[in-house]
Structure 1
Amino acid sequence: MTNRTIKAWVSGSVQGVNYRDYVRRHAERWGITGHALNLDDGRVEVVACGEATAIAELIDRLWEGSPASDVTDVTVEEATLAAPADFTVG
């Protein structure tokens, strides 16, 4: 089992549309820890730590988003961060 940590920035209509909670639910389902935070510029920042195939699944879901969201871009980079204990939103 290979672990992977990513940092992603999601653009589009992703604030005020339950996007962060959508990401949290999927992350928790796959045992991923990290966070989803609203940024001042209208994007959502996602940090995710977990098994590589689970992270790949989550990246696919970042593009989908909640039913009310409209994702226009997802930028992903590999990260080297200490894995948090759970997944939080803020």
Structure 2
Amino acid sequence: MIALRIYISGIVQGVGYRAFTKRLAHSYALSGWVRNLPDGRVEVFVQGDKDVIWDFLKQLWEGPTAGRVDRMEILKEVPSHEERDFTIRY
């Protein structure tokens, strides 16, 4: 299991990006969370199988139709045993 923190920049707020990310994470059976940041980025914490997460990242880059991803910053994290589901944080 690996865990990543991802900062996504572009047109990612107000376009359904968090809901898209949650649905995608559920389809891959990943755990973690997604939230908007005050600076216009979206932050994602995700954990699960390495190969599955790489596929998840490719889909995050595509994003929802109304959005546009310009940049993704990916940081390795320590897996959290507290995360059992994938949620939207506010």
TM-score range, shorter chain: over 0.9
Q: Which residue of 1 aligns with 2:60?
A: 62
1:23 to 21, 27, 31: 21
Structure 2: which 5+ residue stretches go unaligned? none
Give the match's secondary structure for 1:12.
strand
Please give the root-mean-square deviation of Cα atoms over the aligned residues, in Å: 0.9
Give the match's secondary structure for 2:66.
coil
Q: Aligned partners of 1:53 and 1:62: how far apart in 2?
A: 15
How many residues are treated as equivalent by the alignment?
Answer: 88
Q: What TM-score, normalized by structure 2, do the two folds share?
A: 0.93
Q: Which residue of 2 aligns with 1:86?
A: 85
Structure 1: which 5+ residue stretches go unaligned? none
Question: Quick one: percent identity of the two aligned structures?
Answer: 34
Deviations 1:40-76 (A, max 9, x none): 0000000001111111011111110001001100110
Q: Aligned partners of 1:43 and 1:82: how far apart in 2?
A: 23
1:62 and 1:74 in contact (8 A); partners too: no
